[in-house]
Amino acid sequence: EAQVTQNPRYLITVTGKKLTVTCSQNMNHEYMSWYRQDPGLGLRQIYYSMNVEVTDKGDVPEGYKVSRKEKRNFPLILESPSPNQTSLYFCASSSWADSGNTIYFGEGSWLTVV
Amino acid sequence: GQSLEQPSEVTAVEGAIVQINCTYQTSGFYGLSWYQQHDGGAPTFLSYNALDGLEETGRFSSFLSRSDSYGYLLLQELQMKDSASYFCAVRANAGKSTFGDGTTLTVKP
């Protein structure tokens, strides 16, 4: 089954304590991306990756880091989380071979920073 | 930068047809996508238009006019399960996507 898997799904953490949200896809997709969604708003892109070792900033990259060492994994790193990073996070992936540009999303990770 | 505008709320009755419009301003344009999101769930991809015209997928259709920076999502034969938020998103380059704030569709019996 085609899947984008995120972990953890729910996390409460404290300000300044580094955390990593993992994302893995089993579809051999080249493209992966991270988004955050706040109440009443659409998804805002944090970072994206066009392929292994190729990453670029989205619209709201401040306070986040990513890496793409393997094709299937694209972890999101919060080096020093702050309360304004409390949000719902989605990982997504897609294939360049798909002319329909179908993007698959993970189930989301609810992050609370206190 | 990119910005998108779509109505915040739309209400319709079961069996009806509803159109959700999206206008955009973007410095680059690869295509316009539509997503559905139920409360607490992940967005689900609905359609993608890279060229002008209408794309039809079952009860859902999506239209794009690049010259007008405008698109819409058309939902036919509405069902209660179509109650959800709908987002348009502009793909500004090969990797970058910007989403609108979403339209909440309420389908009434």
Q: What is the pLDDT of residues B6-41, one digit of tens each?
A: 999 999 999 999 999 999 998 888 899 999 999 889
For the residues B65-79, what does the mean pLDDT come to? 97
b/e per residue, A85-98, with b = 16+ CB within 10 A?
bbbbbbbbbbbeee
The answer to whether B106 and B10 have CB atoms below 8 angstroms apart is yes
State whether B43 and A105 contact (CB < 8 Å). yes
Task: Round the average pLDDT of chain B to a whole number and report it.
Answer: 93
Identify the residue among A38, A44, A45, A48 best suited for mutation to test binding to B, counting B beta carbons within 10 A and taking the highest. A45
CA distance A106 to chain B (A): 7
The whole-number pLDDT of residue A40 equals 78
Q: Which residue has the tokens 């953890």?
A: A8
The whole-number pLDDT of residue A100 equals 65
CA-based nearest residue to A44, from A5, A6, A84, A83:
A84
> In chain B, what percentage of residues exceed pLDDT 90?
83
Q: What is the pLDDT of residues A7-35, one digit of tens each?
A: 999 999 999 999 999 999 999 999 999 99
Q: How many CB atoms lie within 10 A of CB A14?
A: 11
Q: How does residue B5 score in pLDDT terms, banded at 50, 70 and 90?
A: very high
Q: What is the pLDDT of residues A37-73, one digit of tens each?
A: 998 788 999 999 999 999 999 999 999 999 999 999 9
State whether B99 and A49 contact (CB < 8 Å). no
**Cβ contacts of B44 on chain A, cutoff 8 Å:** 105
Q: Is A27 near chain B, with CB under 8 Å? A: no
Q: What is the pLDDT of residues B74-88, one digit of tens each?
A: 999 999 999 999 999
Q: Locate B93 and state its tokens.
A: 């380059």
